Chain A
């Protein structure tokens, strides 16, 4: 029989220590989610009703419902998905089924990582510079949605790519052996097998994006039309002018309201 030496016991104590420590860290990391969810439900839950969701705000945004904002979000996301899903799926098909392991593929991968990593505010600047001003869409659902589409593109590509790659390679080989072209293989074999995964990925991305790519709401702030242009100048200080399209406040600027502005 083996006798546990002092060294053995010390090792085991160290192991238990780190196990507990890391477990506690994990729990501490997760507690904020529960606190946030709890706070939101306790404070916001009683207010949510059919009436709240489907009526217009009244009394200068202090009463009534959120219907216009809700409708705006639905529009933004739908148009953005219309643009990003076909493009993203095409890109994923290319990367999974056609691309070889070469420099172009490496650059594409790097571009996808960067597209996901570029700060959302830079996406917003791009949206203003390209869609609002250069293509003259103005501040519109179209401009905001296309900006969102580019932001969500990497998520769509990555999640679709994972679904496509989970289809076993043997399926493709069997199909090629029957004389099918690559596209026939993709359409008849790969896509039917991957479609549920692709859809799940896209739906999750809309409601709750997977951990990877960052998501933020700033492009919408900068390139969609003002929902509450009046409300924000009256907010107390810590609210950092949520409506960035409001006229210049006297605190920061004494100049008159710019006459040519993308938000006018």
Chain B
């Protein structure tokens, strides 16, 4: 390359000269920088585009009180369409809540067992099996809810419909558990072995060690894991759509069919005309979902980061 050096001859190259390799390096640095900020661009882009589609509804048709406090979601009524998401929020909340009741103890228990009790081959096998649980696509979970859980619930509890909060909550709990297990396990593994050795030197049993030493040290990581599980449950669409019964209804017991926010978008978007009020209302639900998950993820990130700093 005929890179002109500013001083001297090629025999004694100036370390500061700008040759081709330097320019290539700069160019690559710029390209990978673009790649790096693409994640930011996409998150902003997602927010921008769903806001653009939903903005008309927020500006012209949104009645905040009706939107958040009315349980009536009747977008297709000819005389008086109402857009209240209270019942949908109650559906999402009840399903996610039950899912967490199922998933939190089980995934924390599994994480503690895998990280603290199991050794060698058992440990590796269990980890692989948990990963396998995470690899099942959500539509398969929904299918399981529909074909296995539905008749099972009808038979066990003698209720007319098996597609209800119980079904969707258990399915969602099983879906969220592997993520929570593997993040909790990371958090437990991040506790330095010094702590365990110190506790054992004082004569603590394995359980005392876990309860008094490892848990307090991993507290924030475990909380972060639970929050990420909540975020996952909140945003799950397909399995909830198939297992929850999809009926707009304020739930009064766990055997009621409900409808989730995500499932509403999935089921109705295809039936609306682009630009109609209904269409924009669905995008407004999307904005709401985006903001809530953003908040959950931000909180989880801050909590997990908190342990690294402190």
Contacts and interface: CB of A to CB of B under 8 A. Distances in A.
Interface of A: 11-12, 14-15, 17-19, 21-23, 25-26, 28-30, 32-33, 35-36, 39-40, 86-95, 97-99, 104, 107-115, 117-126, 128-130, 133-134, 150, 153-154, 157, 181-184, 186, 207-212, 214-218, 221-222, 238-241, 243-249, 252-255, 258-263
A11 B205 contact: yes
A237 to B, nearest CB: 9
Interface centre among A122, A214, A216 (most CB of B within 10 A): A122
A114 to B, nearest CB: 5
Interface in B6-41: 21-22, 24-25, 28-29, 31-40
Nearest to B150: A238
Contact of A29 (B181, B271, B286): B181
A162 to B, nearest CB: 12
Nearest to A21: B109
Interface in B80-110: 105-107, 109-110
Nearest to A187: B28
A106 B286 CA distance: 26
Interface string B103-144: 001110110111001100000001001111111111110001
B36 A29 contact: no
A90 B107 CA distance: 34
A243 B205 CA distance: 56
A263 B42 contact: no
B36 A183 contact: no
B301 A258 contact: no
A36 B40 contact: no
B107 A29 contact: yes
Given A181-B21, A209-B135, A217-B138, 16 more contacts: A22-B113, A39-B148, A91-B39, A94-B33, A107-B40, A109-B301, A110-B298, A119-B235, A121-B262, A153-B39, A157-B39, A181-B25, A244-B266, A246-B270, A260-B274, A260-B275
Nearest to A92: B35
Contacts of A114: 43, 293-294, 297-298
A2 B200 CA distance: 17
Given A36-B144, A211-B130, A19 B206 contact: yes
Interface of B is mostly: helix
A119 B49 contact: no
Contacts of A255: 76, 78
B207 interface: yes
A111 B298 CA distance: 10
Interface in B264-307: 265-276, 282-283, 286, 289-290, 293-294, 296-298, 300-301
B182 A211 contact: yes
Interface stretch (B57-65, B191-199, B226-234): B226-234
B220 interface: no
B36 A22 contact: no
Nearest to A43: B147
5 nearest interchain CB pairs? A119-B235, A90-B35, A244-B270, A258-B273, A94-B36
A216 B236 contact: yes
Interface in B233-267: 234-238, 241-242, 245-246, 262-263, 265-267
14 contacts: A29-B177, A93-B32, A95-B36, A104-B37, A114-B298, A119-B237, A120-B236, A120-B238, A123-B46, A134-B52, A211-B178, A212-B179, A245-B270, A258-B273
A216 B237 contact: yes
B45 interface: yes
B283 A125 contact: yes
B52 A26 contact: no
A111 B39 contact: yes
Interface in B143-183: 144, 146, 148, 150, 163, 174, 177-179, 181-183
Interface centre among A97, A129, A253 (most CB of B within 10 A): A129
A125 B35 contact: no
Given A22-B109, A26-B114, A216-B236, A129 B43 contact: no
